[in-house]
Amino acid sequence: MRGGRVAASINPEDAERQAELKANGRLPAHIAVIMDGNGRWAERRHLTRSDGHRSARDVVRETVRACGELGIDILTLFTFGTENWKRPWGEVLSLMQLLRDCSVEELPELIENNVRLVAMGETHKLARHARLALESAIQSTSKNTGLTLNLALSYDGRSDIVQAAQRVSKAVASGEISAEDVDHTIFEQHLLTNDLPDPDLMIRTSGEVRLSNFMLWQCAYTEFHFTPVFWPDFQRCHLYEAISTYQSRERRFGQTSAQLHSTEEPIGEPAGVSPG
């Protein structure tokens, strides 16, 4: 795990909770979050949906800080999905402005806390002012070695898979590789996450229990944590609860519990055996 934000400002209760999680071991290296519920949170308070999105900015900041303090390697946030382009244009413009503002105004703290910002998706489709601010922030943090903050923007999992298949097909057609060479490893090299490990833990807020076209290939063996809390109400305690739940699970990757705890070398996976 890589170091992040210096923990000098953490309150004692929070520091104790983080120490417990670290002592438990097996922290997730990569956490992915579907940040859901901004609109419904706002509507219940008779606010606009844009107000809900803006209110979530502080939550993102605290989540990034907490992950950095814990030594999490990667935090991927489902920030703007391809399907979100279908929303009312005023809401889309508000989200573009929010992305621009965050890229500029949060940059000093990202640099101070050694956070490396990256993005995946069809970012060329973003509004120009948002895209330029994002690209500048990515460049400014490119040499940072702490937490990697990966923003999924104009992204969806099915398109990621389709586009990877197209790239693999072109490589086969050009003779760069043969069809027989194509396996999981080759295919993963053509996904947008080719330089990132798969998520260990995926958190979704707002009570919805589905992936919503998010990192479909990458989440094949990811542990899921669903919470009814709307994203603007998501706090450190909710993040710690999700991590604690993850630590209590046994990740078998198709093996049995006995095999995991055995000192013998695995003999391989027989054909036709489904994951456990």
Q: Does position 127 have pLDDT exceeding 60, yes or no? A: yes
Confidence of residue 268 (pLDDT cuts 50, 70, 90): low
Would 179 be classed as within a structural domain?
A: no
Cα separation of 68 and 3, whole Å? Answer: 7
Residue 247 Ramachandran class (φ > 0 left, ψ -120 to 50 alpha, else beta)? alpha
Question: 181 catalytic, yes or no?
Answer: no
Q: Is residue 97 part of a domain?
A: yes
The pLDDT mean for the chain works out to 92
Q: How confident is the model at residue 267 (pLDDT cuts 50, 70, 90)?
A: low
Distances (CA, A) of 132 to 3, 114, 127, 192, 245: 29, 21, 9, 20, 39
Structure confidence at residue 131 (pLDDT): 98
| Mean pLDDT to the nearest integer, 106-128 | 98
| Predicted local distance difference test score (pLDDT) of residue 57 | 95
CA distance 156 to 225: 20
| 260, pLDDT greater than 90 | no
Among residues 11, 14, 24, 36, the one annotated as catalytic is: 36
**Higher-scoring residue by pLDDT: 251, 127:** 127
84 annotated active-site: yes
Whether 134 has a pLDDT exceeding 90, the answer reads yes
Distance CA 49, CA 91 (A): 7
Q: What are phi and psi of 115, to 5 degrees?
A: -90, 130
Enclosing domain of residue 124: 27-156+198-245
Angle subtended by helix axes 89-105 and 57-70, to nearest 10: 40
How far apart CA 107 and CA 199 sit, in angstroms, is 25
- Structure-derived torsion over alpha carbons of residues 186, 192, 195, 199, reported in degrees to the nearest 10: -100
Catalytic residue among 11, 38, 84, 194: 84
- Residue 186 lies inside a defined structural domain of this protein: no
| Cβ pair 117, 152 in contact under 8 A | no
| Percent of the chain whose pLDDT exceeds 70 | 88
Q: Mean pLDDT, to the nearest integer, of 142-168?
A: 98
Q: Could you tell me if residue 264 is inside a domain?
A: no
**pLDDT above 90 (res 256):** no
CATH number at residue 103: 3.40.1180.10
30: left (phi over 0), alpha (psi -120 to 50) or beta: beta
Give tens-digit pLDDT for 29-44: 999 999 999 999 999 9
At residue 9, the pLDDT reads 63
Per residue in 197-221, pLDDT (tens digit) is 999 999 999 999 999 999 999 999 9
Give a yes or no: residue 81 inside a domain. Answer: yes
Asked if residue 169 belongs to a domain, the reply is no
Dihedral angle, C-alpha 25, 194, 82, 151, nearest 10 °: 50
Looking at the structure of the chain, the number of domains it has is 1
Q: Hey, what are 155's tokens?
A: 């992204």
